[in-house]
Amino acid sequence: MTIAIYPGSFDPITSGHIDIAVRACKLFEKVIIGIYETPVDKNLLFSTEERVAMAKKAVAGYPNIEVQSYKGLTGEFARRVGARAMIRGLRMGGDFEREFNMAMMNKKMFPDLELVCFMASVEYQFVSSSLLKEAAGLGGGINQLVPPHVATALRKKYKITNSD
């Protein structure tokens, strides 16, 4: 069975993330969305449990997509679950440079783990969890960018009562 991991903080999962996972599950027998528990460089809005629950609900209709949380090196997580590939989404040039550097480091430490990049679909080119949280926190319309349960969770976190 060919397994791929799709790692990230997913704080929160967006429609762009889901689009990448669904496209990947058509190429791999199993895709595991790996939710990194404690990213060093991010202020998380949602707990690990909340992020896992939102992701599981978002991909519930896809039997070959799983969601798991993990700690430590992503390459070690890939080894533990038997993944041969790591999925990443690319939105713009800056993403490519960051992903390229990360891929070279991973290749050095985990030579059997292949990187497979998906170009973001046009409608999600600009969507990032950071921008999404900023817009949600200011009461902006986010319903087109996340599943309904994620929009509800964001409004609850930011104590926003309006819905777009």
Active site residue 9: no
Q: Does domain 3-125 have CATH number 3.40.50.620?
A: yes
Residue listed under structure tokens 């990187």 = 115
- Predicted confidence (pLDDT) per residue in 105-129, tens digit: 999 999 999 999 999 999 999 888 9
pLDDT at 162: 60
- Residue from 23, 57, 84, 91 carrying the catalytic annotation: 91
Active site residue 80: no
Active site residue 56: no
- Predicted confidence (pLDDT) per residue in 45-96, tens digit: 999 999 999 999 999 999 999 999 999 999 999 999 999 999 999 987 678 8
Any bridge partners for residue 67, and if so which?
33
- Residue from 9, 17, 88, 133 carrying the catalytic annotation: 17
Residue listed under structure tokens 């790692």 = 7
The percentage of the chain sitting over the pLDDT mark of 90, rounded to a whole number, equals: 76
- Residue from 9, 30, 51, 129 carrying the catalytic annotation: 129
pTM of structure: 0.93
Active site residue 42: yes
φ and ψ at 143, to 5 degrees? -60, -25
What are the residue ranges spanned by the domains of the chain? Answer: 3-125
